[in-house]
Structure 1
Amino acid sequence: MFFKAYYALVIKGHIQNDQSVFIYYGDDVTSLAAISICLRMGCQVYITVKSEELKDFLLRRFPNIEPSDISSSISVSFMGTIRRRTNEKGVDIMMGILSKALVNKLVQCLAKHGHFIYISNDDLSCGDIDLNTYNCILEKSIIFHLIKLSDVFESNDVRNHIYNLLNDGISKGIVVPLPKKIYSDFEVQKAWDDLNSTINHTEKVLIKIRDESPKILAKPDRTIKALPTLYFCENGVYIIIGGLGGFGLVLADFLISRGARKIVLNSRRGLSSIYQSYCLKKWSLIKDLTVKISNDDSSNREGAEKLVKFSETLGSIKGIFNTATVLIDGLFVNQTADNFKRALQPKIYSCYNMDRISKERCPYVQYFVAISSVTSGRGNPGQTNYGMGNSAIERLCEKRRKDGLHALAIQFGPIKDVGLVADSEDNDKALRVAGMTPQAIDTCISSLEQFILQDLTIAASYVIEKQGSAASNSGKKSAVEMVSAILGVKNIDSMDPTRSLSQMGLDSLMASDIKQTLLRNYNIDISIDSIKSLTFDEIAKFAV
């Protein structure tokens, strides 16, 4: 904090001995450092604080300050105090961590040729200053300084100058340890709560891991548990194949929230929904964020190469995520070679091409992540082609790992908020086939983060549907309701309970669904041929 204070006051504000300085909100650590520097230089310091407790704290820490020099920031009475104390001249330097709304008021406190030091994370534009304030700035020849700590490190000369000031300040007693509060490693949550409180920002929060020891430790003698967090490079480019799908859009939002600022959403179909347009509009409001859409087909080598080259125009590629999926369900005997190809294209075709091209053009991508499915590990009737595609990308990830490259395949179950199951007209049917309950998308993203941090190759995240006997299923759907849902019958009362299921339009895939449902919920194992001749009168007896 002394580093920032020296940069603001000395480098930018050109502070001189015996000047007058107004520090707005003198109750944060940067302001405490600034007060220490100003007092050492014999400056008259005026301060505002939020409470009487903070005023008492400043008087104890800086005995040379007069109580009348500290005002409340809640009202604007401090402006009259400064005018009176400076004989209507105003202060030479105004410094504070400010909101844009305060700028128009505080300019009135500055003297001619004064320096306004604006410390904020937000940029200040001319549109934020009203006309009267702008005229006042011109009339008084006020100099504005927008302080960003990142600017300090861009110049070696400035950085070295501040290092010299710090060393001189330490030797003269200007730079002293800031107030601190020490917590034990069992009080981490309390330390975090205090750090985030709006009551007191005058103390540095420290966690004591162990007692000091005179001996040099070769390795830590103890550790504390901590939950790591994944962040992404703001200068890196992140490609999301299937990026305009439900999972892809949520993943993009996650990457952006964790620091990514260059995203390429790859989709062969392009924009096709209002929600997609909404997401792009929302992201367009984020400063320094670039989101591009690519329609290149990564399932062939030419398209994958175009996608990578297009992404490289934005910067260095740091991550490749494949969330694309195509479902063409059907029992194996009814599948065709074309169906298999179409199901495999967004999976292994795309991943294989991106693997090959990335090895040639950007071999050291930090993240190569493919969204797989539990159908790869557990199987699911009617989804042989889909399971094969997911299994293939998992083998590709294993190969990349052997080559020393990053790779992660995540087997997800059904997701209730976005994706194919959420978009299905018969959501319950899709879930019953898999034997799982839907998983919230935010927990899927949380699992993705933890799997990346654990450095895994193949991982799985799904929620198993609660199992139980017919007696324990009294609060759930009956066997008749489950079977009618699979058949697509909306009104159960309109059915003839004596008709066989085959007479009601049962096909082989539906029969397989019913077989799995009866086995899972009622522990009844019945053949496909027997299911075809079943009636609803007979099915109703399964719950007895």
Structure 2
Amino acid sequence: MQEQYNIPNDRIFYSRNLFFGRQIMQVTQGRGVDVVLNSLLGEALAESLRILAPLGRFVEIEKRDIHTFQNLPMQPFVRNVSYHAVNTKSVEHYNPAHMCELVLELVDMLDAGTFRPPRPTGRHIGKAVVDWETEVEIPVVPSPEPAFIFDANASYVIAGGLGGIGRSLAAWFSRRGANVATPRCDVSDANSLRAVIDYATKTLPPVKGYIQTSMVLKDRVFQNMTLDEWQTVLDLKINGTWNLHRILPKKMDFFVILSSTGGMDAFARHRWSLGERCVSVDVGVIKDVGYVAEHSDIAKHWDETKIQVLAEKDLLAVID
């Protein structure tokens, strides 16, 4: 990059510590720089903002501090500097026509040689520029065989197995050698659950594992919930999990709870204290399968928050 853009050595600064700010202020005789294109975090971001010259522009291309709600020091703004966060996903979402214009303008500038990507070297670290017009064969590694195959002489229980995430897991089980049955059952009702487990014990191989995916969603702020709404949410997850803990066989291979309820972590520790296996997984929001994916208004809400969500493949990778 130094050779291509004729940048002298004394204009390259080391950003792995905060000394670069003092160096830049020295070489600019205390004025600072007119533009900062920033990808640093935390204190290094604040130092980059501090060295901005009066009327300067700070262009933020790093998203982590934004998504984690970090604060900016306000003192540099007395110099009438401006802060711009660049998020092309937001441009595409809120103004797709303008995003199309930007991409076409970028292509024209590349064709005209207005700017060029830096020449790659063996020491290159970071982003790479891909030429999509060059034809090339891309080697693809075939998907490996599943690392785990379910025991053909065992049964496995998925509570909530007919919901979106439950169906995804049932298909995942099937690809790993399990047969799928769908008896009707309310796991929050101990008698209903016991009847199904007793029937399965008589007609199917012994139960060796369990995954809890059942849920009732009342998507509202806690202080606006009624007692009945709160209890409905808890009954299926907490009472259902407790019933399964009491009624399912001991010493199973796994007992997995998918939940965003913190109490499930305590329950998992309780099972371990009894010598029984248990894992509680806070799955958050799954974007392409399950309740959110099946309700467009809720999916749109989560998309607009720009909070990172999981994909179905991420969930299955965690379970695997």
**So what's the TM-score if we normalise by structure 1?**
0.31
Deviation at 1:429, TM superposition (A): 0.8
1:356 aligns with 2:246: yes
Native 8 Å contact 1:414 1:431 kept in 2: no
Native 8 Å contact 1:324 1:346 kept in 2: yes
- Name which of 266, 278, 281 aligns with 1:410: 281
Aligned 1:387-466 pairs, distance under 5 A: 390-426=261-297, 427-433=299-305, 436-449=307-320
Aligned 1:50-129 pairs, distance under 5 A: none
Deviation at 1:233, TM superposition (A): 0.6
Instruction: Name the residue aligned to 1:311.
Output: 200
1:372 aligns with 2:259: yes
Instruction: Name the residue aligned to 1:463.
Output: none
Deviation at 1:237, TM superposition (A): 0.5
Give the residue type in structure 2 aligned to 1:295.
R
Deviation at 1:250, TM superposition (A): 1.0
Which structure carries more relative contact order (alpha carbon 8 Å, separation 6+)? Answer: 2
Deviation at 1:230, TM superposition (A): 2.4
1:300 aligns with 2:218: no
5+ residue gaps, structure 1, are 1-192, 197-226, 262-290, 374-389, 450-544
Quick one: distance in 1 between partners of 2:314 and 2:219?
27
Quick one: distance in 2 between partners of 1:440 and 1:418?
8
Quick one: distance in 1 between partners of 2:295 and 2:161?
19
- How many residue pairs get matched? 176
Quick one: distance in 2 between partners of 1:308 and 1:431?
40
RMSD, aligned CA: 2.2
- Name which of 235, 240, 243 aligns with 2:153: 235
Instruction: Name the residue aligned to 2:237.
Output: 347
5+ residue gaps, structure 2, are 1-140
Post-superposition CA distance 1:134-184 (Å, at most 9, x none): xxxxxxxxxxxxxxxxxxxxxxxxxxxxxxxxxxxxxxxxxxxxxxxxxxx
Quick one: distance in 1 between partners of 2:303 and 2:251?
38
Report the secondary structure of 2:191's partner residue. helix
Instruction: Name the residue aligned to 2:218.
Output: 328
Quick one: distance in 2 between partners of 1:399 and 1:407?
9
Quick one: distance in 2 between partners of 1:400 and 1:357?
14
Native 8 Å contact 1:322 1:371 kept in 2: yes
Deviation at 1:228, TM superposition (A): 9.0
Deviation at 1:317, TM superposition (A): 0.3
**So what's the TM-score if we normalise by structure 2?**
0.51
Distance 1:394 1:310, change over 3 A: farther
Give the residue type in structure 2 aligned to 1:363.
K
Native 8 Å contact 2:146 2:176 kept in 1: no
Quick one: distance in 2 between partners of 1:254 and 1:316?
20
Give the residue type in structure 1 aligned to 2:317.
S
Quick one: distance in 1 between partners of 2:236 and 2:196?
14
Deviation at 1:259, TM superposition (A): 2.1
Instruction: Name the residue aligned to 2:177.
Output: 259
Quick one: distance in 1 between partners of 2:242 and 2:155?
20
Deviation at 1:432, TM superposition (A): 4.5
Deviation at 1:239, TM superposition (A): 0.9
Give the residue type in structure 2 aligned to 1:417.
D
Native 8 Å contact 1:414 1:436 kept in 2: no
Quick one: distance in 2 between partners of 1:241 and 1:341?
19
Quick one: distance in 2 between partners of 1:306 and 1:394?
28
Native 8 Å contact 1:328 1:343 kept in 2: yes
Q: After TM superposition, what 4+ stretches of structure 1 lie above 4 angstroms from structure 2?
A: none
Quick one: distance in 2 between partners of 1:344 and 1:351?
10
Deviation at 1:242, TM superposition (A): 0.6
Instruction: Name the residue aligned to 2:112.
Output: none
Native 8 Å contact 1:232 1:255 kept in 2: yes
Instruction: Name the residue aligned to 1:338.
Output: 228
Native 8 Å contact 1:415 1:441 kept in 2: yes
